[in-house]
Structure 1
Amino acid sequence: MSAAMALHNLELLISGNSSLRGSLTFEYYHFKATTLDEQALTYQYLEWRAQNVHENRLEKCVLEELNQIILPRAFLTGSRLTAVDLLLASDLRQSLEALGSLIRWYNAVAVRSEGKLTQIPIHRMPLYS
């Protein structure tokens, strides 16, 4: 699949997501993946989402895997928020409370989502695992 097709598919997923539809965030922050690395990682996470997200819910083992992926990064594709972060964050909201790295990432996305996503209070995070 070409990068242009992957971007088109991402735009369709976002427009079909009721919690993100009509958000000025996408117009204001320009969430397109701009570097080749961001584009490749965006495509990778779209494929990952297609295989692992079912009815906007993720199984615990999948959340643990994503928790490890996001551990060394601020956002999925690196240090910059992209549309794929917003899309996956909207899928994850119900299942995040037990996974600290994902909560940090989710809250960073939620802050920039113009109220479309609500933050998870930090006091719910376990201090030690």
Structure 2
Amino acid sequence: MSIPSDLLPKSKRSLTFHISLREKQVWDSLPSEKKALIRAIVKYILQDPTILEESERLMKYFQLRALSPFICPICHVPFQSAQALKQHIRYGEFKSEVCPICAKHVSTKKGEIFQHLMKKHNIALPG
């Protein structure tokens, strides 16, 4: 007979990750509020795993973010500056009427795809 996990003592309820020494140093340097935020994000994902349906796209995005802070969240093209990324999204790089994330038809007016991405997919541009 097994004990339900919510009845286990706290010392028996843990989740561990294998991380690099650098990642451990970053973790140790974080203030407690940011550590609490990371724990909350992990708990949220575990409570609602459907959020990971776009996991392949998210993983590619985060891997590229390690190389450059200016990555297009839609097509994953890295840029040298925030300004170049803004221009990529705002001015003509997405001529399609279909959102690359949800496939919704969006007006081709200048900036409409940007507004859709911000409002519906919570994708914001840096700076």
What's the TM-score once normalised by structure 2's chain length? 0.33
Give the structure with the higher percent helix: 1
What's the TM-score once normalised by structure 1's chain length? 0.33
Point out which structure has higher relative CO (alpha carbons under 8 A, 6+ apart): 1
Task: Pick the structure with greater CA Rg.
Answer: 2
